């Protein structure tokens, strides 16, 4: 019988994170201080991050050790399984081989604990007892609540209003792990109050929620801030995913021709793809595809330049693909992909032509998610259904070209808390939200006053 | 670093199910035809079950082969991991070793697909293209929908009204896998209409839903019925759980002093415990504990005798612990444990003194579930929180006796679709429903007209 799943013992959990910075043909442009226009130094970040993470953020070392206490928590669910998508291959009638890494087996149901655990750990090591953060769909907020609970810390989560209202159970999950969750924009911060004054019905956005969480962390001595995606150290922590996948593909006697992930801030994509970029850098023929929502098309329709990571303009300026920090994405079901910007590392790789971006509408993604659920059993989160949609594209392309390819993607989370979205799809109530080009233009115009890329 | 999880390769999926019938000191009393009072023959069951399952229902063979196509579907999620509960041990401050088998990694999130898959398979092999069933919390209905989808069959689920209303997302899950789900009592069957006439606001019960599903299967040529617990063949299929656990405990150099499971109909309990009953029968010193809800205390306060498996009296009479087939359990959050009866095999073992029953209130179970979630990460379904509660009892008992024990329990499902119940607990809105003794007496009185046990 053909093998469905490749599992590894605990001893195979990576002992080091892989830092793609070491294998880039050129470094990405540095973050800038918005006041001076000069690169930010570590000191600018110490009010909200611990030194260990600041060090990882700027490190050029190829390998960075995973502390033993972090590895021990990883062992609660890692290594995650690699699945051969035998059912999906049959359903698609393809002779391509499709593999997926399944991160939905973590306590929070996604890849997010891969970084929430080390972030909580490093903060606690430096005496911090309380963390704030933002969350979109709720995956990140619940993952940080879990990690804080494990290390005996407090966790305060600003959850994007539209998700807070449509996903009450993600909040309950955070509370079950001892976290506190408020809807953003909230009245608890100056940033939140300013947004609410301008628009009392604001659906919120990740950019707004980041402003609130950063403001609270910066203004409280006992509190640091924790980000669930975008930054270099976050992407770094996720590379356990791709490293394990390599070991598992070796068990299967396979190596991918195409690696696929969905992108919002970029972290699950990077976690799977970056370890394979090392192979690409070494000359191996491998294509890497990033799938984003057509309703928040940062990589495919955004501008590559300097922008704030948050809406209120409290963060350093990041060199990234962006729709403008004032852009509020439509209320699609993939809350985790509703971000105006993109990880600087992912943006840089797209700019260099090493990563191919694609955009898909939510209904076409849900159509594939339902087919996947019927064929593979697992009900995907809406976010990775974008990756599945891209995989189907790759299968069709291989058929047209008359070749058989090995395709690897990251199934970064399950959809157990997204069944309202499935209901909307199954009953025909789901629509695709057409983006107004004038809205994109308006958002991009905000960038005119910010420094240009060199 | 201490090992958290014990994983097995696909080749370790059991090739045979273990039939405890072969190791019982005496056989359980046979099912009776309610009309004649005589043991039912296979012919009575052919309108609703395929011959292969009828054969397994009455088999005395110790080992029954798992067909290859079933094993291949099992491989989509099996072998499931065995966890060492290192976090819970720390939280309890115990030197007992606690292990749990985690069945929540299945597509439907519980142990139920272990039997839905072979049941769908055997039905399809005998030409059946459509199955009906009942579901309480929705775990079983979604598991059978999944299995039918895999084998290209139709699935119709009668879902207990109180769960249908409180768990809309379980229904969406069934629909995502192509199943059809209606609230029970429904107007689609004579049994349902009769109940609704007497009580239009009936919250429903598993007994009522079984009546409806059996009625539809018996009256349609193309349709069979499928039961998610109670019957011998269902418990048989679950024994993959205990067999894998044995292999994994061997990897850990451990053997349990105590085996614990929660019981509603009895199947997840039996799946873990029966393979260890073989060791107990062979003289090994091992205690086996069944944990049930105080609001539906079948084993601890019920009567051991003949009763119908359903409310309308359509099934054969089963020798079991029962609260009376007219008993409608209070609307506790553990919908999967709201059954008036108990598997005849489990009842027989309790009667023989080989299994110890215990009853717990839902608030004490949720208290332990929240502690477990904080310590182990996984948020348990409400049903196995009864098992966790019993484990804590065992830990306290070991402490009192000054001994260290190895405790094994079945974490038969996750609570991702039960977060409304966690919300009720965390906000103090959850209450314990005191059972009225007169209600138990009334229910037991129904049994007076039925045959007595020999």
CB-nearest to B177 from A3, A373, A414 is A373
Asked whether A408 and A101 are in contact (CB, 8 A), the reply is: yes
Domain count for chain B: 1
- Report if residue A100 sits inside a domain: yes
- Report if residue A92 sits inside a domain: yes
Query: Per residue in A324-356, pLDDT tens?
Result: 998 888 888 888 888 999 999 999 999 999 999
Task: State yes or no: pLDDT of B165 exceeds 70.
Answer: yes
Query: Per residue in A247-256, pLDDT tens?
Result: 999 999 999 9
Closest residue, chain B, to A374 (C-alpha):
B177
pLDDT at position A390 is 98
Task: Report the C-alpha gap between B407 and B41 in whole angstroms.
Answer: 40
Domain that holds residue A441: 5-12+67-109+233-447
- Report if residue B18 sits inside a domain: no
Residue B314: band (very low, low, confident or very high) from pLDDT cuts 50, 70, 90: confident
Chain A residues near residue B379 by CB distance under 8 angstroms: 107, 173, 176
CB-nearest to A76 from B4, B8, B105 is B4
* DSSP symbols for B333-362: S-GGG--SS--HHHHHHHHTTSSEEEEE-H
Query: Per residue in A377-389, pLDDT tens?
Result: 999 999 999 999 9
pLDDT at position A449 is 86
pLDDT at position B89 is 98
The interface residues of chain B toward chain A in range 169-188, judged by CB-CB distance below 8 A, are 169, 172-173, 175-178
- Report if residue A209 sits inside a domain: no
Task: Report the C-alpha gap between B203 and A104 in whole angstroms.
Answer: 34
Closest residue, chain A, to B418 (C-alpha):
A169
Predicted TM-score (pTM) of the model is 0.96
Task: Report the C-alpha gap between A408 and B257 in whole angstroms.
Answer: 44
Q: What is the CATH number of the domain that holds B267?
A: 3.40.50.1100
- Report if residue B144 sits inside a domain: no
Task: Report the C-alpha gap between A245 and A239 in whole angstroms.
Answer: 10
Chain B residues near residue A106 by CB distance under 8 angstroms: 377
Task: State yes or no: pLDDT of B79 exceeds 70.
Answer: yes
- Report if residue A344 sits inside a domain: yes
Task: State yes or no: pLDDT of A441 exceeds 80.
Answer: yes
pLDDT at position B84 is 98
pLDDT at position B437 is 86
Q: Tell me how many degrees the CA angle B126-B132-B137 measures, rounded to the nearest 5.
A: 130
- Report if residue A171 sits inside a domain: no
pLDDT at position A329 is 83
Chain A residues near residue B168 by CB distance under 8 angstroms: 419, 423
Contact at CB, B426 and A176, closer than 8 angstroms:
yes
Task: State yes or no: pLDDT of A319 exceeds 70.
Answer: yes
Q: Which two tokens stand for residue A392?
A: 């189907």
ipTM: 0.95
Asked whether B260 and B289 are in contact (CB, 8 A), the reply is: yes
Chain A residues near residue B150 by CB distance under 8 angstroms: 87, 374, 377
Helices (H), A252-334: 267-281, 298-301
The interface residues of chain A toward chain B in range 129-168, judged by CB-CB distance below 8 A, are 146, 149-150, 168
Closest residue, chain A, to B167 (C-alpha):
A419
Element (H, E) at A410: strand A406-411
Query: Per residue in B366-403, pLDDT tens?
Result: 999 999 999 999 999 999 999 999 999 999 999 999 99
Measured between CA atoms, how close is A4 to chain B, in angstroms? Answer: 6
Region of A204 (left: φ > 0; alpha: ψ -120 to 50; beta: rest) is: left
Query: Per residue in A21-55, pLDDT tens?
Result: 999 999 999 999 999 999 998 888 999 999 999 99
Residue B174: band (very low, low, confident or very high) from pLDDT cuts 50, 70, 90: very high
* DSSP symbols for A421-454: HHHHHHTT-----PPPHHHHHHHHHGGGGSPPP-
pLDDT higher at A361 or B329: A361
What mean pLDDT is predicted for residues A286-315?
A: 94
pLDDT at position B430 is 95
Asked whether A238 and A245 are in contact (CB, 8 A), the reply is: no
Task: State yes or no: pLDDT of A206 exceeds 90.
Answer: no
- Report if residue A102 sits inside a domain: yes
What mean pLDDT is predicted for residues B400-412?
A: 98
Task: State yes or no: pLDDT of A1 exceeds 70.
Answer: no
Contact at CB, A76 and B9, closer than 8 angstroms:
no
B254: Cβ contacts below 8 Å, ≥ 6 apart:
B97, B99, B406
């Amino acid at each position: 019988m053909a093998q469905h799943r490749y599992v590894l013992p605990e001893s195979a959990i990576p002992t080091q994170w892989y830092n793609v910075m070491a294998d880039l043909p050129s470094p990405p442009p540095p973050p800038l201080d918005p006041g001076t226009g000069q690169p930010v130094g570590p000191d600018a970040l110490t009010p909200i991050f611990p030194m260990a993470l600041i060090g990882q953020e700027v490190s050029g070392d190829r390998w960075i050790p995973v502390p033993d206490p972090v590895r021990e928590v990883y062992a609660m669910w890692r290594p995650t399984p690699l699945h051969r998508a035998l059912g999906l291959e049959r359903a698609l009638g393809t002779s391509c081989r499709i593999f997926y890494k399944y991160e939905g087996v973590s306590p929070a149901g996604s890849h997010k604990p891969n970084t929430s655990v080390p972030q909580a750990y490093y903060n606690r090591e430096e005496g911090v007892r309380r963390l704030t953060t933002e969350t979109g769909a709720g995956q990140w907020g619940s993952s940080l609540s879990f990690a804080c609970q494990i290390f005996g810390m407090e966790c305060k989560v600003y959850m994007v209003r539209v998700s807070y209202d449509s996903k009450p159970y993600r909040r309950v999950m955070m509370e079950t792990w001892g976290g506190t969750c408020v809807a953003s924009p909230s009245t608890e911060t100056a940033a939140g109050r300013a947004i609410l004054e301008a628009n009392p019905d604001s659906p919120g956005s990740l950019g707004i929620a980041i402003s609130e969480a950063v403001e609270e962390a910066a203004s409280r001595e006992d509190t640091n801030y924790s980000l669930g995606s975008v930054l270099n150290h976050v992407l770094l922590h996720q590379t356990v995913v791709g490293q394990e996948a390599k070991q598992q593909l070796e068990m299967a006697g396979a190596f991918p021709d195409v690696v696929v992930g969905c992108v919002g801030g970029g972290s699950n994509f990077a976690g799977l793809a970056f370890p394979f970029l090392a192979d690409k850098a070494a000359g191996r023929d491998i294509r890497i595809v990033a799938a984003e929502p057509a309703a928040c098309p940062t990589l495919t329709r955004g501008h590559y330049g300097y922008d704030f990571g948050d809406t209120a303009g409290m963060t350093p300026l990041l060199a990234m693909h962006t729709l403008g920090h004032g852009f509020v994405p439509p209320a699609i079901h993939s809350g985790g992909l509703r971000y105006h910007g993109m990880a600087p590392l992912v943006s840089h790789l797209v700019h260099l032509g090493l990563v191919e971006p694609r955009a898909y509408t939510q209904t076409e993604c849900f159509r594939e998610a339902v087919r996947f659920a019927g064929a593979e059993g697992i009900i995907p989160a809406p976010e990775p259904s974008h990756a599945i949609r891209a995989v189907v594209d790759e299968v069709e392309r291989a058929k047209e070209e008359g070749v058989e390819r090995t395709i690897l993607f990251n199934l970064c989370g399950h959809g157990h808390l997204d069944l309202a979205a499935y209901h909307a799809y199954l009953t025909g109530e789901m629509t695709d939200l057409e983006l107004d080009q004038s809205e994109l233009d308006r958002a991009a115009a905000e960038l005119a006053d910010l420094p240009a890329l060199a």
